[in-house]
Copies of this chain bind each other. A is one copy, B any other.
């Protein structure tokens, strides 16, 4: 028998939890009508009960402790908004599913790390484990992969999955400012957290990409993923890219090639005229290549309380409608153990930048290293710096094996004529 109402506990009342609380109370009626079942926010829990919030919560809604939620018979759905792959969030979600509670979470780190184990418990106990909010907030990509695009055999998913780093790269480009200046601005504007490490080092994108790979390719989660962030990109790189007709974006790619999955996150030179290059600021975009649909693109706000609430409520609504589904779209016993490979043997064209002392023989020394490592040069630009005794050498390569590109960086890095760590940024010419 389908229930007429489902009781919800929201655990974690930061910006997102508070926003969700307000939304659910305000829209209870319309959600009931759309889903034929009423969502009732029965309980809340937060680390700091007395923190100032712009919502009023009656005393009887507070759980004595969040860890009481899984065993509370009056709770049907637990919304986990604590965050972090370990500790309280992990305990809560594992215990909730074990106790046959539906779980809705925005916790990408947790799902990327423990999603396989969690989905097994959810499937066994016939409850939902939903995580639309964990991947690109307001972009309804998880639901689209599970429903709207369910017919498709997907062979590639890629895009811009992190608003903070996209905001920084966009601002560096448009305002001609340095990484540090822009990061400071972003913190003031609320586009970067006070500790934005996982946004900048690529880990946030990597977690989302792992989840998307599993959904797209019906595979298990894996840590075989190449991850680079944007913290080494400087103004010169962005200017050089621009002169060559490119923008620099932090992209995540997951591709299925001959039954092998390649996952990578790195800054990428992408043609200015391409769709991805047009995604500026804090927006996210996910591009899916599948058969029979061709290419589908979903774009929207990637983060923030509003966009995240939209995602959380779509998950809650799905549960209200009794739309019980496998967390990763397919039963765990049907998920495949696909081969994952690192990208060292894949071919990329690349942008390399060397800051070198302006002395004879340097250029021939460098080009010799390229030819010895089977990398052929498509374009070379040497910019002498006025009044300084060094030059900037920018090289665009033809498609070459990734391991050789990296080897060149390693070799040149040891040379005495080098005055700064060399750069390697892959190019996407597709």
- What separation, in Å, do the CA atoms of A253 and B115 have in the docked complex? 41
| Beta-carbon nearest neighbor of A33 in chain B | B334
Contact of A138 with B309 in the complex, beta carbons under 8 Å = no
- Within 8 Å of chain B (Cβ to Cβ): is A116? no
Q: Which residues of B contact A314 (CB under 8 A)?
A: 147-151
Given contacts A33-B331, A140-B144, A314-B150, contact A294 B299 (CB under 8 A): no
- Within 8 Å of chain B (Cβ to Cβ): is A80? no
Binds B, one of A193-201, A300-308, A354-362, A417-425: A300-308
| Beta-carbon nearest neighbor of A326 in chain B | B34
- Within 8 Å of chain B (Cβ to Cβ): is A325? yes
This chain: copies in complex:
2
Given contacts A140-B148, A306-B293, A310-B152, contact A330 B34 (CB under 8 A): yes
- What separation, in Å, do the CA atoms of A94 and B311 have in the docked complex? 35
A256 to chain B, nearest CB (A): 14
Most buried by B among A291, A299, A301, A310: A310
Query: Which residues of chain A in 128-168 are interfacial with respect to chain B, using CB atoms and an 8 Å cutoff?
Result: 132, 138-140, 142-144, 147-152
Contact of B140 with A318 in the complex, beta carbons under 8 Å = no
Q: Which residues of B contact A144 (CB under 8 A)?
A: 140, 143-144, 148, 298
| Beta-carbon nearest neighbor of A138 in chain B | B293
Query: Which residues of chain A in 275-299 are interfacial with respect to chain B, using CB atoms and an 8 Å cutoff?
Result: 275, 278, 290-299
Q: Which residues of B contact A33 (CB under 8 A)?
A: 330-331, 334
Q: Which residues of B contact A331 (CB under 8 A)?
A: 33, 36
Contact of B317 with A150 in the complex, beta carbons under 8 Å = yes
- Interface residue tally of chain A, by bracket? 35 or more
Query: Which residues of chain A in 10-37 are interfacial with respect to chain B, using CB atoms and an 8 Å cutoff?
Result: 19, 23, 27, 31, 33-36
Partner of A132, one of B148, B300, B323, B326: B148
- What separation, in Å, do the CA atoms of A428 and B147 have in the docked complex? 33
Most buried by B among A290, A306, A329: A306
- What separation, in Å, do the CA atoms of A233 and B313 have in the docked complex? 44
Given contacts A23-B292, A143-B144, contact A321 B310 (CB under 8 A): no
Given contacts A144-B144, A151-B317, contact A293 B300 (CB under 8 A): yes
Contact of A151 with B294 in the complex, beta carbons under 8 Å = no
- What separation, in Å, do the CA atoms of A311 and B321 have in the docked complex? 21
Contact of A296 with B297 in the complex, beta carbons under 8 Å = no
Given contacts A143-B144, A321-B325, contact A292 B278 (CB under 8 A): no
Q: Which residues of B contact A305 (CB under 8 A)?
A: 292
| Beta-carbon nearest neighbor of A142 in chain B | B148
Q: Which residues of B contact A299 (CB under 8 A)?
A: 296-299
Q: Which residues of B contact A36 (CB under 8 A)?
A: 331
Q: Which residues of B contact A275 (CB under 8 A)?
A: 278
* A to B CB contacts below 8 Å, 11 in the list: A23-B292, A27-B151, A33-B334, A34-B330, A132-B148, A138-B293, A150-B317, A293-B306, A293-B307, A294-B301, A296-B299
Q: Given contact pairs A31-B151, A34-B150, A297-B300, enumerate 20 new A-B contacts (beta carbons under 8 Å).
A: A34-B330, A140-B144, A140-B296, A143-B144, A144-B148, A144-B298, A147-B314, A147-B318, A148-B311, A149-B310, A150-B313, A150-B314, A151-B311, A151-B313, A152-B310, A290-B310, A293-B307, A294-B306, A297-B297, A321-B325
